[in-house]
Amino acid sequence: MAARLAEEWFAICGGCEVTILDIGEPLIDVLKQIQIVHMPVLMDHKLFGQTGEGTKMEVPEADVGLIAGGIRNEENKELALEMRKKCKILISLGSCACFGGIPALANQYSKEEMLEKVYRDSVTTEKNGLPHEQIPALTDRVYALHEVVKVDAFLPGCPTTPEMVTAALLAVIEGKPLPALAAKSVCDECPTRREKKAAGGGVRGHLDPPEFKFGAPLTEMRCLMEQGILCLGPATRAGCGGSDGNPRCIRAYMPCEGCFGPLSDKANPMVDMMGALSSIGLDPKQIPDRAATFNRFAGSGRLRPMPKR
């Protein structure tokens, strides 16, 4: 019998749903073995009955539930509880669900400050009342899914990778254990050449091209951070590599931005990155906005409103 799949999206951009499409040809085989029972991005399936006749939010029972996005409002919270109740296995899809992701950068501000900035204080906004009718109340901050309900597996990444989604779905279909997260860092999988000291010249612009003969093997490229290009590989969990195992951004000659999240639940990426920069002779103080830069995808439990100056 096909495995029943339910999917929901909370505070997100939709990129992680596109990753499901990015599975490409193998998706045809996967689809033969699953039955999608609920997926707002794909099918018209209402939460309060198709004609709004329901009195409480309901999703159908499913063998596996995927949730993308962090929890930003009371409706997300209620729906997370309903998905947990109805899905035998619940999976966080992408870094927004796993750690709050980009929306959790707003956790540096109180809810009131954020609303004031977005709806009243921005130079492109006419000062007006705040929206309040028929919209769910915001939670005090963005929460990762597992801060609100029990989660059985995590598929980090912004977006997550088609390989990880396929592996998780096949594990559910075949009744095998869900894939575990890698226990090493992006640096551990990075093939670049390291000399354990910065090349000189300090921290360069993030989008500066690396010194490298394009087309040559990656093993001939010097570590981007040693070249002065900020790379969060030392403080980021591995697992984004494709079939060649090389980290996704490094393969494109770009530095890691940390999208697979911290090395563990208790890790502090800011401390880890400041140590990594100092150890090769770079000054971490050259990085503006360090808390946000080093926790760009992992703000749910790590970023808090900044004290007023």
Q: Whose CA is closest to 115, among 138, 133, 144?
A: 138
**Residues ≥6 apart with Cβ < 8 Å to 111:** 138, 139, 140, 141
**Residues ≥6 apart with Cβ < 8 Å to 300:** 70, 99, 100, 104, 107, 141, 142, 143, 144, 147
Supply 48's token pair: 């309060």
Rg, the chain, Cα only: 21
303 binds ligand SF4 per the rule CB under 6 A: no
204 binds ligand SF4 per the rule CB under 6 A: no
Provide the 10 A C-beta neighbour count for residue 267: 17
99 binds ligand SF4 per the rule CB under 6 A: no
**Residues ≥6 apart with Cβ < 8 Å to 58:** 47, 48, 49, 82, 86
The amino acid occupying position 210 is P
Q: Applying CB under 6 A, which of residues 172, 224, 235, 263 lies at the interface with ligand SF4? A: 224
By beta-carbon proximity to ligand SF4, the closer residue of 23 and 68 is 68
Of 81-89, 96-104, 108-116, 288-296: span binding ligand SF4 (CB under 6 A): 96-104
Q: Whose CA is closest to 276, among 207, 268, 246, 214?
A: 268
The amino acid occupying position 142 is V
Shortest reach from residue 53's CB to ligand SF4, in Å = 31
Instruction: List the x/- string, 241-260, binding to ligand SF4 by CB under 6 A.
Output: ------xxxx----xxxxxx
Site size toward ligand SF4 (CB under 6 A) is 37
Q: Applying CB under 6 A, which of residues 223, 235, 270, 298 lies at the interface with ligand SF4? A: 223
263 binds ligand SF4 per the rule CB under 6 A: no
273 binds ligand SF4 per the rule CB under 6 A: no
Instruction: List the x/- string, 7-26, binding to ligand SF4 by CB under 6 A.
Output: -----xx-xx----------
68 binds ligand SF4 per the rule CB under 6 A: yes
Shortest reach from residue 238's CB to ligand SF4, in Å = 8
Which residues contact ligand SF4 by CB under 6 A?
A: 12-13, 15-16, 68-69, 94-96, 101-102, 157-159, 186-187, 190, 192, 194, 223-225, 231, 233-234, 236, 240, 247-250, 255-260
